Amino acid sequence: MKAYIFDDLEGDQRLPHDSGEQVSVEQLKSIGVLPYPGISLDQVEAIAKERGYKNRDEINVSKEGLGDIYEEKIKGFFREHLHEDEEIRYIKDGRGYFDIREKGDARWIRIAVEPQDLLIVPAGVYHRFTLDSSDFIRALRLFQDEPKWVPHDKSEATDANPFRAQYLQSLKA
């Protein structure tokens, strides 16, 4: 798992877009993002138990896995959005990028994920996701309650979302 500032240059979203400015684990934790690089499924189970994740499913993000809705899903994943639940992903195969807004929302932090990486993205943080140029990732998704994945695209209404407000308050604490 590698984190760095996204270069914001035009071009294929699936390319690394590495500005050369690295982001530390401490910087990620300061915005509520919890990275667990290179861990085993047993370690994932321990984290799931500790954090109260009771349910899970697996997603295959590829042309084969998503079929006719592939292009639509990829575009949707890459729109800036937030969730009202933590987003927890354990990468089983393939590679991709989570882009997370840094404090102040000025720049994107790009987190490159690969097999055996677990990433926890807090509720209320603006983010987006894309595959790398291999166009494939298989991930275990963990949920505290019933599996759901509801994106709230960035807007004035989403800026006022109580989960967004709670997240912003947590940054001040």
What are the pLDDT digits (tens) for 29-71? 999 999 999 999 999 999 999 999 999 999 999 989 899 999 8
What pLDDT sits at residue 19? 97
Q: Closest Cα partner for 144 from 118, 123, 128?
A: 123
Please tell us whether the domain made up of 2-172 is placed in CATH 3.40.50.10490: no
Give the contacts of 151 (CB within 8 A, at least 6 positions apart).
76, 79, 81, 82, 83
- DSSP E strands: which ranges in 27-135? 34-36, 55-62, 81-82, 87-94, 96-101, 108-113, 118-121, 127-131
What are the pLDDT digits (tens) for 79-130? 999 999 999 999 999 999 999 999 888 899 999 999 999 999 999 999 999 9
Binding residues for Ni(2+): 81, 83, 87, 127
Cβ 164 vs Cβ 123: under 8 Å: no
Binding residues for Fe(2+): 81, 83, 87, 127
What pLDDT sits at residue 82? 95
Confidence of residue 147 (pLDDT cuts 50, 70, 90): low
Binding residues: 81, 83, 87, 127
Element (H, E) at 46: helix 41-51
Domain boundaries, the chain: 2-172
Query: What does the alpha-carbon distance between residue 61 and residue 137 come to, in Å, rounded to a whole number?
Result: 5
What pLDDT sits at residue 15? 96
What are the pLDDT digits (tens) for 5-30? 999 999 999 999 999 999 999 999 99
Q: What is the mean pLDDT of the chain?
A: 94
